[in-house]
Amino acid sequence: MLKLAMIGLLAAGTAVAQTASPTPTPAAASGDKKSTASVSPAAKGQASPAAKPQEGKETKKGGASAEAALPATATVITVHGACGPSPAAEGAAAKNACVTHVSKKQFDTLLNLVVPPNQPQTPQMRRTLAQRYVELLAIADAAEKAGVEKSPEFALLRLRGLAEAYQRQLDEKYKDIPQPEIDAYYNQHKDEYVSATLRRLYIPKADAAKPKATDAEKADFAKKAEDVGNQMQQRAQKGEDMDALEKDAYSKLGLSTTPPSTQIGPVRKGALPAATDKAIFDLAQGGVYKDDQPTAVIIYKVEKKETLTPDKVKEEIVRTLHRQKMEEALKGVTSSVKADYNDTYFGPATPPNGATPTPPGAKR
C-alpha cells in the first residue's frame, strides 16, 4: 500500500522533470517490486547503468524512434538490493538478494498516471521520473522494514490513497460517453443550448464627473436617466441604431464620459442574471428589453438568436454526463454507509434550515 502514496510523490516530481536537467546518476531508474534507491550515496537500491540512452534526444530507427521500437516486455529499469533479504542471506549477500526488473509497459503505465496527457514524454523526463521512482521504492522498502504500515499515519494515507485510486478508476470508466447518450441528452436539453447576439445601451443613473452633487441633484439626474431610458427603449423598438441611441442618450444627460460599446455576444442562455436572462431569451429576434437597475437603465436588443447544433456543444455535454456519472457512482457508494456520531464528543449536528439543535442526550 505504500506504493499508493508513492504515486502522489512521483507526480510532484513531474514539475522538476519539466524544468530541470539533472545529471544522470549511475541508477538508470528502476522499480517494480518493493525497492529502495536514492540519489544520495547512502541509497540502498541501485539501478543498473546498462543501456544508458542519450539525454534529450531519441535515436531514429527505420523511421520510428528507438524508444517506440522497444517491445512492451523489454526491461527498462533494473534495481539491485531494494527488496527484503532472503532468510539465509547476510551482509553483501543480503543486499544483493533482490533484483527487480521493470518492463517498458509497467513504467509506461506509471508515467500515464502522473504525467498530464497533453505533456510530451521526453527521454529526459522519463529518466528523471525513473530516478525518482527508484528513490521512492527505496524509501518504501525501508518504511516497510521499519513497520510504518502499522502506524496510524499510514492507515490514513492508505484510506486516502484507496479513495483517490477508486475515483481515478471511475474517471477512466466514464471518460468515453456513448454517442447515443450524448444525442439523447442534447434532445432533452435542446432549449438550454441557445445563443443570442445582443446590443446593449447602458444609461448610468449618476454622473461620475460630479461626485460632489447634492442628494437632490443626484435624485434629479436619476429621474432624468429613467425618462431618457424609456425614450430610448421606444426608439429601439422602432429599429433605430443602438449606437446612435446611446450617443443621443449621453448627450441628453450631459454626460462627458465615453459610452461603452453596444456590441455584446454571443451570449449563452443562462449566462446573465436569472431575471434578465429569462426576459431576454423569451424575446424573438429583434426584440427589446429594458432592465431598470439601481445604478443604470440597460436596454438590450436581440440581434440574432440561434439554437446551437449538437457538434458545437458535444464537449460540454460529455463533461456534464461525465460529472453526473461520477457523482451518481460516488453517491451510491457513500449513501450505502450509515454512521451514528457521539454528540457529546462531536457536538450536535448542524440543524437543517435553522432548526433548533437537539441537546446532547435528548431523543431525536
Same domain, 123 and 258: no
CATH number at residue 235: 3.10.50.40
Q: Give residue 363's pLDDT.
A: 54
Distance between CA 342 and CA 346 in Å, rounded?
Answer: 6
Same domain, 24 and 144: yes
Same domain, 143 and 14: yes
Same domain, 146 and 203: no
The whole-model pTM stands at 0.64
Same domain, 85 and 224: no
Where a domain ends, among 270, 290, 307? Answer: 307
Distance between CA 115 and CA 111 in Å, rounded?
Answer: 6
Same domain, 85 and 46: yes
Structural domain including 228 reads 194-307
Beta bridge partners of 45: 37
Tell me if 341 is assigned to some domain. Answer: no
Q: Which three cell numbers stand for residue 245?
A: 441611441
Q: Give residue 12's pLDDT.
A: 44
Tell me if 149 is assigned to some domain. Answer: yes
Same domain, 13 and 145: yes
Q: Give residue 4's pLDDT.
A: 47
Q: Which three cell numbers stand for residue 83?
A: 527488496
Q: Give residue 364's pLDDT.
A: 52
Same domain, 111 and 231: no
Q: What is the DSSP secondary-structure string of 239-305?
A: T--HHHHHHHHHHHHT--SPPPP-EEEEEETTSS-HHHHHHHHTSPTT-EEEEE-SSEEEEEEEEEE
Same domain, 287 and 228: yes
Our count of domains for the chain comes to 2
Same domain, 127 and 71: yes
Determine how many CB atoms are found less than 10 A away from the CB of residue 209: 10
Where a domain ends, among 307, 339, 357? Answer: 307
Tell me if 251 is assigned to some domain. Answer: yes
Q: Give residue 92's pLDDT.
A: 56
Tell me if 348 is assigned to some domain. Answer: no
CA proximity to 80, closest of 67, 96, 57: 96
Same domain, 79 and 111: yes
Q: Give residue 60's pLDDT.
A: 44
Tell me if 326 is assigned to some domain. Answer: no
Is residue 40 within 8 Å of 86, Cβ to Cβ? no
* pLDDT tens, N- to C-terminus, the chain (364 residues): 444 444 554 544 444 333 333 333 333 333 344 333 333 333 344 454 444 444 444 444 443 477 788 899 999 999 987 764 444 445 555 555 678 889 999 999 988 888 887 888 888 888 999 999 999 888 888 888 899 989 999 999 999 999 999 999 999 999 999 999 999 999 999 999 999 999 999 999 999 889 899 999 999 999 999 999 999 999 999 999 999 999 999 999 999 888 999 998 799 999 999 999 999 999 999 999 999 999 999 999 999 999 999 999 999 999 999 999 999 999 999 999 999 999 999 999 887 665 565 655 555 5
Same domain, 30 and 77: yes
